[in-house]
């Protein structure tokens, strides 16, 4: 009789996978990323978070979520660098992924194929509702996608978009509560009508 050891199955199982956490601003994306990373770290897995060098709202070296939940991270200029810095890492976290180049899709696939668990957090859409950077493609190749929501500041329903409250057309405008507000689809449409009326 041949008895297969369950432990052996466990060891040889491929752990590589891609998880995407996406949503609007103030939806808790970074908090969810950090929660998953901390849990892996607690299990003595080697973890590392990368973020685009463009995101310098807070300190250079740390991923800081809005509730000051700090985990160390490495700012990098291009997605290709993630492969260079990821040897010997079990779980790779990527924050503000929408600001990375499209090469991030290849990088994440490559890491997952090597057995790395990749957890990506990023904005699903820009302030006009257009899918942001490599996020749509990452959602397509992911093993698991979690869409998180903020709360609409006008009516309390689940928010759908980060509405920009200042008149600036630049796609990348980093800021906090003063420049953006989470709105549901209905309140966003009302806000757009209001704005076009004010411009006339
Ligand atoms: Zn609303």
C-alpha–C-alpha distance, residues 84 and 178, integer Å: 37
Pick among 3.30.1120.10, 3.40.605.10, 3.40.190.10, 3.40.50.300: CATH of 6-148 = 3.40.50.300
- Evaluate if residue 14 carries a pLDDT over 90: no
* pLDDT bracket for residue 108 (50, 70, 90): very high
Rounded to the nearest angstrom, the distance between the alpha carbon of 148 and the centre of ligand 1 is 16
pLDDT over 70 at 115, yes or no: yes
* Rounded distance from Cα 57 to ligand 1 centre (Å): 28
Q: Is the pLDDT of residue 41 over 50?
A: yes
Note the pTM of the prediction, 2 decimals.
0.84
- C-alpha 167 – ligand 1 centre gap (Å): 21
Q: Quickly state the pLDDT bin for 96 (edges 50, 70, 90).
A: very high
**96 carries an active-site annotation:** yes
Which is the catalytic residue, given 32, 48, 96, 181? 96
- Asked if pLDDT for residue 135 goes beyond 90, the answer is yes
Q: Where are the domains of the chain?
A: 6-148
Cα distances from 35 to residues 31, 61, 70, 128, in angstroms, run 6, 18, 11, 29
């Amino acid at each position: 009789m041949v008895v297969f050891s369950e432990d052996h199955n466990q060891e040889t199982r491929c752990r590589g996978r891609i998880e995407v956490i996406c949503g609007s601003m103030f939806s808790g994306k970074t908090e969810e990323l950090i929660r998953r990373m901390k849990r892996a770290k607690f299990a003595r897995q080697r973890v590392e978070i990368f973020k685009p060098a463009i995101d310098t709202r807070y300190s250079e070296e740390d991923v800081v979520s809005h509730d000051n939940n700090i985990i160390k991270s490495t700012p990098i200029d291009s997605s290709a660098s993630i492969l260079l810095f990821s040897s010997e890492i079990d779980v790779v976290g990527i924050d503000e992924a929408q600001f990375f180049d499209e090469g991030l899709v290849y990088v994440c696939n490559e890491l997952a194929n090597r057995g790395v668990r990749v957890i990506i957090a990023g904005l699903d859409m820009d302030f006009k509702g257009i899918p942001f950077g490599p996020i749509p493609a990452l959602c397509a190749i992911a093993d698991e996608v979690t869409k998180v929501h903020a709360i609409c500041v006008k009516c309390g329903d689940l928010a759908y978009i980060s509405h920009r409250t200042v008149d600036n057309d630049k796609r990348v405008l980093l800021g906090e509560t003063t420049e953006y507000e989470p709105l549901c689809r209905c309140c966003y449409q009302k806000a757009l009508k209001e704005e076009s009326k004010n411009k006339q």
